[in-house]
Chains A and B, each alone.
Chain A
Amino acid sequence: MIKITNLEKFYRTEEVETIALNKLSIEVKTGEFVAIMGPSGCGKSTLLNILGMLDDPDEGSYVFNGIEVAHFTERKRADLRKHNIGFVFQSFNLIDELTVFENVELPLIYTGVPSAERVKRVEEVLDKMQIMHRRNHYPQQLSGGQQQRVAIARAVVNKPKLILADEPTGNLDSSNGNDVMELLTDLNEQGTTIIMVTHSEHDARYSHRIIRLLDGQSVVENIMV
């Protein structure tokens, strides 16, 4: 599904040039659950942003589902992204002014799903995430665990092929964190590819494979059994 080759990304200020990704090559197959680990500043988040087409690489190739996307325009990337990729963030990133239902509905609006169909699908996914009873609440009225479940619901409502999770349990206690990991595992078992950045060895154990990054390069790959 994903194949990146010799990917490079620099951050420049007037005086310093920092290499975030240094000729990184990774491949992820459809249906995999991959964890990316590494110390702060190793390039994990940069990699995730590029994979999620929120950012573009400076050098190298990124093939997504057989399409070279490394130099796509913002519009093309946005188009590809909305149909294929769901995001889960550490800080949830829900819109405060929208209710739970409306937050989850958002991706469907942007992909042009008709209203009746939207209601059906949002209710379905809220039910699955067990937050149906909170559908008319605003994010501030929910606990962290509930907010993250809303965020995951939003990420999967469009039935994306790939879910990118950036430390999805980082702001949660261990019990809520485990719930979230179970949800992701379920989704993976139903066929969604998952790439997750994490600091937690515990969370990483849910994945099939761990890619460890250091200074923008892949150093070790552990295959989980």
Chain B
Amino acid sequence: MILNYIKIAWRNLVKQRLFSLINITGLAVGLAVCMMIMMYVAHETSYDSFHKNADQIFSPRASIKVGGTTMSMAYMSYAAADIIKQRQPIVKDYMRTMAYFKPVIASNPEKPDSKYSEKKLLFADENFFSFFSFKLISGNASNVFDKPFTVVLSEDMAKKYFGDENPIGKIITLKTDSAFTYQVTGVAKNNPSNSSIEFNFVTSNQSLLKMKEASLYTGTKEISFGNFSIYLLLNHASDTAALRRNLDLMARQEKTFDNVHYSLAALPDSHLKSNFGDSSNTKYLKIFPLVAILILLLALVNYMSLSTARATLRAKEVGVRKVAGASRKTIATQFYIESAMFATISFVLGYLLCYAFKPWFLNVLQLKIDDTFLYSPTVLILLFALLILTILIAGSYPSLVLSAFKPVATLKGKMGKSTGGVVVRKVFTTLQFAISVGLIICGIVIDRQLYFFRHADTGVNRENVVMIPVHNTFGNNYQAFKQDIKSLSGIEGAATSHYAMFGGHDMNSFNGKTKDDNIMVSSLLADDQYIKTLGLKWKYAPAADQKLAGMDRLVINEAAIEKLHLPANPIGSYVQSGNQKFKVIGVLKNFNFSSLQSEISGLVLYIAPDNMPFFSRDGCSLLARIKPHTNLPTLLGKMQAIYKKYDKDTPFDYTFMDDAFNAQYKAEDRLASIFGVFTYITIILATLGLFGLAAFTIEQRTKEIGIRKVLGASLASINTLLSRDFLALVILSIVIASPIAWWAMHKWLEGFAYRITISWWMFAAAGFVAVLTAIVTVSYHAIKAGIANPVDSLRSE
């Protein structure tokens, strides 16, 4: 019996090629999008759960209140973990890791020519490979770090520096504050893509302690904030409440800070729940599943709509089968099996599509997902669930409608205007277009907001400014470097500042009105060329004879006036930080020194005198304004040559300020590109659906069209007649989608301090696209029916 069903389903598929194609590809595209997003979400939520003790490992996170601002700290001092373990017996074991904050120069002494700058050097306690579940390909987890200056390489690094040789026992040089040689004691599998701990090289904290710079990171002997990620292994996950209370208690006894509160982040949560760095993933995780559901729904609705429309052609078959003894149940089963077949074909096609477009998708999201993850049981189960869900939904409505046909009516050809599901199909079409229109509106708003970001006047002249990171390897030469760059013919001006523009700032505490009142203000250290080079504007310029640079003075921005409780024109006023007094010598107009997502906050600018070597220890950033119409490659080449004069080893690196500015919106950029594609997909799906539906509806009215033509109807009037009904649905869908899209985008825009207003034309444009698409689609069929010879259509009845 099932064979019979599959046979007839296949023959129908082949006979109705166009509609089968529309049906299958529509569903396949929807499924492909759904699969991609499913894999992405599954990957994001699976972070760190591959560790065998994942649910027993927790990281303390401290939040401190300083001067009204709550700061969250994820990194702690080197001593902290040990102290916690000694005082808290529920902590079984601990692990401290420190990801070295900048690239290191790595080389194999046997091949002195091959020097590379490498990221992801990880310092960790000796038991790293037994505490976590990273797999060692060679080497023994219990003794790889028995001695200092031993290193475990990732598979990739082993290959890169030692080729096919066995690296165990060999030597590799890693240059941190100075070059150290390490003995390779193990090779580890590359860390999985869903690991929040990343490494190319792992070495022990014992090695770190032997370095000169160690005191910077490991000096503190108490529980405090620092540079280490701390992982505590507990006996039971339920011990967290007690541990958190005890940590708070300990913090109060130590009195380092007044208002410290600890929370404990479970290891698998650390990826999504810590909002350090790029928070874009969390944003996508909220939006994408919703979009995936909408697209799948659209594809399924499309499928159901077309199948039931096609049902009229199958009515006779249903009638004959019923007369031949089929019950409603057997007919329903038949159509279910047919749907299952269609869905399975679509699923396979969808999987192929998903596979083909995966690299693009991951590239846009700047993600890496291991292939092994894509074939892991989790993903396979999810895919299987998706297949079942698709079959269940896709088959439900058509089989219900088709099995309800009355044999008497169908056999006598009285089906007429398909009594089955006209209303439901209208609802389906409206729903499809509502989803499309909604997404188009969202797409337009996102695009406009991004345009606004890129072109907003932020008070900084971002054009033609190149920023070069200057490392502490320059020592005091950073000033000479600046002078050399300045003397190049293509350079208009150059300045030095502690951080690159949009690359961060410090926070400084100033005394408030009372003794306990601390005011936290953003601060930046720069030289006296900074303001001029960036084209910052004065609100209250300093007196003409006033020297900007000096340790007893500072420049503030407008926002800082109120923040620091200063008079409206604060020139000449004093602010105090601890015991140090500073004179306010000038006020700058507000400018965006960070992203437009947040409002401009108060800023103090310390101007460093040239004779004081502020930047030799930490390094700094050189900002150089290039004259317009300069040959960039030549200029950059000259800059590189100068750079190499002072630092041979560190690769020359540069960023243009407007790139850095735009990079702040990469989360939104990615959102916009993905959204764009999703929107096109929904439009195509909705159009396909309408195309199929129009074909059938019009086919059913062939006789009516014939009669009207015989009576003298023009092609235009027939087109109007046939398009009118569909247009009404599309307009209804615009009415439904607009307020929902408005609400969603209103919410999204609320996340930005500087934003566009949603205006009426965005809705009008989306509506226009929908109406135009509908008219073109329906007219194609309407005109085809209209120009047909009425004699043929009338004879066919």
* Chain A interface residues toward B at CB < 8 A: 45, 49, 52, 54-55, 74-75, 78-79, 81-83, 87, 89, 91, 93-98, 102, 105-107, 109-111, 154, 158
Contacts and interface: CB of A to CB of B under 8 A. Distances in A.
> Which 9 pairs of residues, A with B, have the shortest CB-CB distance?
A82-B325, A110-B325, A97-B11, A107-B324, A106-B324, A78-B327, A54-B408, A95-B317, A93-B320
B407 interface: yes
Interface of B: prevailing SS: helix
Given A106-B321, A110-B326, A111-B325, A95 B407 contact: no
A198 to B, nearest CB: 17
Contacts of A96: 317
- Size band of the B side of the interface? 20 to 34
Contacts of A93: 316, 319-320, 323, 411
Nearest to B412: A45
B328 A74 contact: yes
A170 B269 CA distance: 77
Given A81-B323, A97-B12, 8 more contacts: A54-B406, A91-B411, A93-B323, A95-B8, A98-B11, A102-B4, A110-B324, A110-B325
Contacts of B319: 93
A126 B586 CA distance: 106
A81 B325 contact: yes
A49 B325 contact: no
Among B323, B324, B412: residue with most chain A CB under 10 A: B324
A74 B331 CA distance: 13
Contacts of A78: 322, 325-328
Contacts of A109: 1, 4
Nearest to A93: B320
B508 interface: no
Contacts of A154: 324
Interface in B286-325: 316-317, 319-325
Interface of B: 1, 4, 7-8, 11-12, 15, 316-317, 319-328, 330, 406-408, 411-412
Contacts of A82: 324-326
Nearest to B316: A93
Contacts of B324: 82, 106-107, 110, 154
19 contacts: A49-B408, A54-B407, A74-B328, A75-B327, A78-B326, A81-B323, A81-B325, A82-B325, A93-B411, A94-B320, A97-B8, A97-B12, A98-B7, A102-B7, A106-B4, A106-B320, A109-B4, A110-B326, A158-B325
Contact of A55 (B1, B321, B408): B408
A200 to B, nearest CB: 20
Which of A106, A111, A158 is packed against the most chain B CB atoms within 10 Å? A106
A35 B588 CA distance: 107
A87 B325 CA distance: 11
Contacts of A95: 8, 316-317, 320-321
B8 A98 contact: yes
A97 B327 contact: no
Given A102-B4, A109-B4, A97 B323 contact: no
Nearest to A103: B320
A94 B328 CA distance: 19
Nearest to B325: A82
Nearest to A97: B11
A16 to B, nearest CB: 17
A170 B211 CA distance: 104
Contacts of B327: 74-75, 78-79, 110
Contacts of B412: 45
Nearest to A92: B320
B64 to A, nearest CB: 73
Nearest to B3: A115
Nearest to B413: A91
Contacts of B15: 97
B330 A110 contact: yes
A204 to B, nearest CB: 22
Contacts of A97: 8, 11-12, 15, 317
Contacts of A52: 323
Contacts of A55: 408
Contact of B411 (A83, A89, A102): A89
B408 A75 contact: no
Residue in B7, B321, B323, B408 with the greatest tally of chain A CB atoms within 10 Å: B323
A111 B325 CA distance: 7
Contacts of A110: 321, 324-327, 330
Contacts of A158: 325
Nearest to B330: A110
A45 B411 CA distance: 12
Contacts of B8: 95, 97-98
A83 B466 CA distance: 89
Contacts of A54: 322-323, 406-408
Contacts of B12: 97
A188 B330 CA distance: 31
Contacts of A74: 327-328
Given A94-B320, A97-B12, A109-B4, A75 B328 contact: yes
B113 to A, nearest CB: 72
A82 B330 CA distance: 13
B795 to A, nearest CB: 16
Nearest to B323: A87
A79 B329 CA distance: 12
Contacts of B411: 89, 91, 93
A89 B322 CA distance: 14
Contacts of B1: 109
Contacts of B323: 52, 54, 81, 87, 93
A107 B408 contact: no
A106 B323 CA distance: 10
A79 B321 CA distance: 13
Nearest to A79: B327
A94 B321 CA distance: 10
Which of A75, A79, A93 has the largest number of chain B CB atoms within 10 A? A93
Contacts of B4: 102, 105-106, 109
A83 B327 CA distance: 12
Contacts of B406: 54
A14 B407 CA distance: 23
A190 to B, nearest CB: 21
A119 B408 CA distance: 29
A5 B411 CA distance: 27
A89 B7 CA distance: 25
B321 to A, nearest CB: 7
